[in-house]
Amino acid sequence: MIDYTMQPRRIRELYDRQNLLDQSIAHRMMSSEEIAFATSQWRMMWKKFIRNRVAVIGGVVVLLFYLTALFADFLAPYTLQQRMTEYSFMSPQRIHFFLNGRFQPHVYALERSRDPQTLMRVYVPDKEQPIPMRFFVKGEPYKLFGLLPANRRLFGVEEGIVSILGTDGQGRDMFSRIIIGSQISLTIGLVGVILSLVIGALTGVASGYFGGWVDNIVQRLIEIVRSFPPIPLWMALSAALPRHWPPLWTYFAITVILSLIGWTWLARQLRGKVLALREEDFVMAARLAGAGHGWIIVKHLIPATFSHIIVISTLAMPAMILAESALSFLGLGLRPPLTSWGVLLQQAQNIQVLLLYPWLMTPGIFVALSILAFNFLGDGLRDAADPYTV
C-alpha cells in the first residue's frame, strides 16, 4: 500500500527521478529498439510467419500453383481438346536429358503394338529415333490470359508426341489437361471463398456486434443451413441448373452453391471474435468519444479481425477445392467441355481404368498437393495471425 501522505515535495522528487530514469532508458533504446517498438502488426506477423518453414514451403507451393494456372496455356504443350488419336491410353513418357554426351532433352519415338495375350495396346520406345524437345516452339494458337493471341509454348516436339503424364482414351495429353484444368479448380476455390467471405463477414460482424435479435436470427439461420447434409443439397442444387447454360454460367453457379454453405464457418468464427472485441475497453472508448457504428466497425473491428479473415479463408480454400472435385467427380458439378481436376478424375471412376491406366489418377495427386499446401500455409498464418500472444 502506498503512503499517500508523503509530502508533496517528496512525491515530486520521486516523480522527477522516475522521469529522468525513463528518459535515459528511452535514450538508450532509441537506436535499435525504437524500430521494434514502432513495428506494426503486419510486420510482426510476417516475422513470425517467415520463421515457420513448413508454412513458407506451403506458401511457395501455393504461389507456384497459381502462377502455373495463370500461364497454363503457355506451359502446356497441347490444348485442352487436342486429340492425338494414334496415341490413346499412352503411359507417361520418360524424358532423357543427354543425347550423345550433350545436353539435349529428348523423348523417343514410339512404336505401337499389341500385347499378344491381353490384346492391350502398348507403346515401345524406339531408341534409334530420338525426338529432341524444342523450347518456345510454335504450337496451337491460344490467347494468353484470355486476351493476347499467341502460339509459342514452353516446350514441345516437332513430330511425334511428348506426354510426360500419359494420355487419356482419346489421346489427349494429361499434363496439358491438368495444368489447364487447374485454372478452374484453383479459381473456383478462390471465387467461392471470396463469395462466402462477403456473406460471412457481413453476417458474422453484424451478428457479433449488434447481438440481440440480429444475432439470434443469423445464428439460427446458420444452424439450419449447416444441418443439411451437404452432398444431397449440392446434388439438388446442381440438378436445378439448366443443362443449356453456357459453361461460364455453370461455373459461377457452382461457386455460388459451394459458398452457400461455406459462409457459415466464417460467420461463426468472426462472430465469436467480434463478440470478444466488442467488450474491449478501446471499443467503449471510441463509442464514448462519439464514434458511430460505422467508425467502430471499420476502424477497430475489421482491422482486428482481418488477420483472422485471411487465415480462415486460406483454411477454407482446400474445402472448396475438394468440394468442387467431389461434385465434378460425381458428375454433378462441372461438365465437359469445362475441365477441372474433378472432371478429369471422372475418367478414373472404374476399376479397369485404375488397373490398366493408373496415370489417369494423376489429377488426384495435384488435388492432394494443393490441399496440403493450403493447409500448411493456413496453419502458419494462423500461428502468425496474433502476434500479441506469445
Partner 1 sequence: MNETANAETILEVRNLTKHFPIYRGFIRKVVGRVQAVNEVSFSVRKGETLGIVGESGCGKTTLGRIILRAYTATDGEVLFRRDTEMVNTFSLKGKELKQLRRNMQIIFQDPFSSLNPRKTVMEIVGEPLLIHGVARGKELESRIGALLELVGLNVKHMNRYPNAFSGGQRQRIGIARALALNPKLVVCDEPVSALDVSVQAQVVNLLEDLQKELGLTYLFIAHDLSVVEHISDRIAVMYLGSFVEMAVAEELYKSPRHPYTEALLSAVPLTDPHTRKVRIVLPGELPNPSDPPSGCRFHTRCSHARDNCKTDVPSWNEISPGHWVACHYAESLSLNGIVTVDRK
**How far is 192 from 266, CA to CA, in rounded Å?**
12
- Determine the interface stretch with partner 1 among 34-42, 167-175, 255-263, 322-330 (rule: CB under 8 A): 34-42
* Subset of residues 313 to 342 that bind partner 1, contact rule: CB under 8 A: none
- The answer to whether 57 contacts partner 1 (rule: CB under 8 A) is no
- The answer to whether 2 contacts partner 1 (rule: CB under 8 A) is yes
- The answer to whether 275 contacts partner 1 (rule: CB under 8 A) is no
The 102-131 contact track toward partner 1, x by CB under 8 A, reads ------------------------------
- The answer to whether 5 contacts partner 1 (rule: CB under 8 A) is yes
Nearer to partner 1, 43 or 51 (CB): 43
**How far is 110 from 210, CA to CA, in rounded Å?**
69
Q: How far is the CB of 144 from partner 1 (least distance, A)?
A: 41
Q: How far is the CB of 208 from partner 1 (least distance, A)?
A: 17
**How far is 342 from 324, CA to CA, in rounded Å?**
7
Q: How far is the CB of 302 from partner 1 (least distance, A)?
A: 11
DSSP state at residue 330: T
Question: Of the candidates 300, 315, 370, 380, which one interacts with partner 1 according to CB under 8 A?
Answer: 300
Q: 151 — phi, psi (to 5°)? A: -140, 5
Q: 162 — phi, psi (to 5°)? A: -125, 120
- The answer to whether 289 contacts partner 1 (rule: CB under 8 A) is yes
Question: Of the candidates 121, 216, 217, 365, which one interacts with partner 1 according to CB under 8 A?
Answer: 216
Does the CA dihedral 81-84-88-93 come out positive or negative?
A: negative
- The answer to whether 286 contacts partner 1 (rule: CB under 8 A) is yes
- The answer to whether 31 contacts partner 1 (rule: CB under 8 A) is no
- The answer to whether 24 contacts partner 1 (rule: CB under 8 A) is no
**How far is 76 from 144, CA to CA, in rounded Å?**
12
Count of residues touching partner 1 (by CB under 8 A): 43
Burial of 376 (0-12, 13-18, 19+ CB in 10 A): buried
Residues forming a β-bridge with 156: 134
CB–CB of 250/335 below 8 Å? yes
Nearer to partner 1, 40 or 117 (CB): 40
**How far is 232 from 90, CA to CA, in rounded Å?**
37
- The answer to whether 219 contacts partner 1 (rule: CB under 8 A) is no
Residue bearing cell 454460367: 249
- The answer to whether 390 contacts partner 1 (rule: CB under 8 A) is no
Compute the residue count for the chain. Answer: 390
DSSP state at residue 246: -
- Determine the interface stretch with partner 1 among 112-120, 251-259, 288-296, 311-319 (rule: CB under 8 A): 288-296
**How far is 49 from 75, CA to CA, in rounded Å?**
31
- The answer to whether 198 contacts partner 1 (rule: CB under 8 A) is no
CB atoms under 10 Å from CB of 16, counted, come to: 10
**How far is 171 from 164, CA to CA, in rounded Å?**
13
- The answer to whether 38 contacts partner 1 (rule: CB under 8 A) is yes
**Which residues of the chain form contacts with partner 1 (CB under 8 A)?**
1-6, 8, 11-12, 14-15, 18-19, 22-23, 26, 30, 34, 36-41, 213, 216, 280-282, 284-291, 295, 299-300, 303-304, 388
